[in-house]
Amino acid sequence: MEERFDAIIVGGGLAGLGAAYTLASEGLEVLLLERGDYAGAKNVTGGRIYLNPVRDMYPDLWKKAPLERFIAHEEVAIMAKERSLTLRYSGEELRTEPYQSYSILRAKFDRWFAKQVERKGAMIVTKSKVDDLIFENGKVAGVKAGEDELYADVVIACDGVLSLLAEKAGLRKPGNPKDYAVGVKEVIELEAAVIEERFGLSEGEGVARLFMGEVTKGMFGGGFLYTNKDSISLGLVVSIKELMENKDRIELPVMFEEFKNRPEIAPLIKGGQTAEYSAHVIPEGGYKALTKLYGDGILVAGDAAGFSMNIGVTVRGMEYALASGYYAAKAVIKAKEKGDFSAKTLAVYEEMLKNSFVMQDFINFKEAPHVLENPRFFTYYPELVTSIMRDLYAVPAGPKERLYPTVKKYLGFKQLWAMAGDMRKVMKI
């Protein structure tokens, strides 16, 4: 089989589907290849998606999108070994439409999104893995998938965090452990009414709870819990470098079980049935770890380019995937107008990203990965804060100590000095 398209997109995640949707909307002939049984079959997220940054790029999409619950309550739990402190923020703006963010299950969402993409006229072939690129005169001219050779003016690599295609195109090298985290997650089924009662939610509302501290045994990362319609997504994200070098040789599946068994978590998932166990690498190297974004006849978008950010307790990648897919498509449309798909013309992709929230976020949070690696944030501070809480709440048999000395005993000159040092670094974020 030999066929020719305006654009071939590799990968049916949010970046690929977003690019295909945008190109097909403009009438271009698009082929999207996805190795899974269906779009979403290989895709893992936390997850919560923020719509504001991408709402206008896909104006017709959101009304009917199969999202789970809008996030009306933001929680963070600071976890020490034997105690924890949980904060819950609820605000009128979070309960007001258009809602800022939703919980999401990707197998469901991506599969639906793929249908909308097909409706726009793009061709999607699933169960099809791209094995290699085809080069002509040093320029990417198509892809090889099994026996098939498929040709196009441009290939958009949206093949996710490892992007073996961008590697083959010489746009990136195999990843360095310090720039990546691994995320594991269980989807635990519970009835909607139980979820709402357990988490204090009105109908349709959802909560996002992030856990920092002891849950990752002092390693860079954190835990998350998102309520879906009738399930809970519970997971952990940990730096690969710190995990593979951890002196206590804690294995990730064990760390996750311990997290699930914490007294703060166990009652939340009680009676629930685990329906799926998933895992995925997450890029978290930030700006400095972004790959080259384009070459002759090729563009890279989404996780494939490194567009995912882990600023401590929250991972954001879905909006960047949707937005970079959108801008990649816009760049292809410009290149088609010019009839030139060389790197020189496709460079407009990077320009567009620089003028958008995508690159601006990555530049603004350039220092975040580095600052947040400080293990004090994951062990020392959670112990400190929760120890102060313990003493404040304790009522001993004898007289209770005054409040000020209780707090002050934890915050001597030495501690405050060290904190000021950490603070100076945090202020770079």
Partner 1 sequence: MSEPLNLKAKLGLNVFKEDKERHINIKPGMEKDPRLKRAVLVCPAGLYSLNDKGEVEFTIDGCLECGTCRIACGVEVLDWKYPHGGAGVQFRFG
Ligand X SMILES: Cc1cc2nc3c(=O)[nH]c(=O)nc-3n(C[C@H](O)[C@H](O)[C@H](O)COP(=O)(O)OP(=O)(O)OC[C@H]3O[C@@H](n4cnc5c(N)ncnc54)[C@H](O)[C@@H]3O)c2cc1C
Binding site for partner 1 (CB under 8 A): 35-38, 40-45, 105-108, 110, 126-129, 145-146, 161-162, 164, 174-177, 180, 182, 184, 186-188, 231, 233, 240, 243-246, 249-253, 256, 260-261, 266, 269-281
Whether omega before 382 lies within 30 degrees of 0, making that bond cis, reads: no
Q: Which stretch binds ligand X (CB under 6 A): 30-38, 245-253, 352-360, 368-376?
A: 30-38
Q: Which does 127 bind (CB under 5 to 8 A by kind): partner 1, ligand X, none?
A: partner 1
CA dist., res. 15 & res. 32, Å (int): 11
CB 405, min distance to partner 1, A: 40
Query: Of the two residues 265 and 301, which places its CB atom closer to partner 1 in the complex?
Result: 265
| H/E segment holding residue 36 | none
Structure tokens at 221: 């990362």
Give the C-alpha distances (Å, rounded to integers) separating 342 from 61, 157, 169, 233, 235.
32, 16, 14, 43, 42
Q: Which does 345 bind (CB under 5 to 8 A by kind): partner 1, ligand X, none?
A: none
Q: Phi, psi at residue 36, to the nearest 5°?
A: -75, 170
Token look-up 């730096």 returns 239
Position 158 contacts ligand X (CB under 6 A): yes
Beta strands in 132-178 (DSSP E): 132-136, 139-145, 148-157
CB 53, min distance to ligand X, A: 10
Beta strands in 201-338 (DSSP E): 205-213, 221-227, 231-239, 273-283, 294-295, 298-300, 309-311, 314-316
Sign of CA dihedral 192, 195, 201, 205: negative
Q: DSSP assignment, residue 348?
A: H
Please, which of residues 56-95 interact with ligand X by CB under 6 A?
none
Q: Which does 49 bind (CB under 5 to 8 A by kind): partner 1, ligand X, none?
A: ligand X
Q: Which does 303 bind (CB under 5 to 8 A by kind): ligand X, partner 1, none?
A: ligand X
- Comparing C-alpha atoms, which of 51, 72, 50, 46 is closest to residue 61? 51
Query: Of the two residues 174 and 412, which places its CB atom closer to partner 1 in the complex?
Result: 174
Q: Which does 146 bind (CB under 5 to 8 A by kind): ligand X, partner 1, none?
A: partner 1
CB 262, min distance to ligand X, A: 18
Q: Is residue 257 classed exposed, middle or buried when 0-12, 13-18 and 19+ CB atoms within 10 A define those classes?
A: exposed
Q: Could you tell me how far CA 44 lies from the centroid of its own chain? A: 9
Token look-up 């690929």 returns 16
Q: How many residues bind ligand X (CB under 6 A)?
A: 40
Please, which of residues 34-53 interact with ligand X by CB under 6 A?
34-36, 42-49
Position 260 contacts ligand X (CB under 6 A): no
Q: Which does 231 bind (CB under 5 to 8 A by kind): partner 1, ligand X, none?
A: partner 1
In the bound state, the residue with its beta carbon closest to ligand X is: 317
Q: Which stretch binds ligand X (CB under 6 A): 14-22, 240-248, 256-264, 290-298?
A: 14-22
Q: Which does 321 bind (CB under 5 to 8 A by kind): partner 1, ligand X, none?
A: ligand X
Contacts 24+ apart (CB under 8 A), 116-119: 116/21, 116/61, 117/17, 117/20, 117/21, 117/24, 117/32
Enumerate binding residues for ligand X (CB under 6 A). 10-16, 33-36, 42-49, 129-130, 158-160, 183, 185, 235, 237, 280, 282, 302-304, 308, 315-319, 321
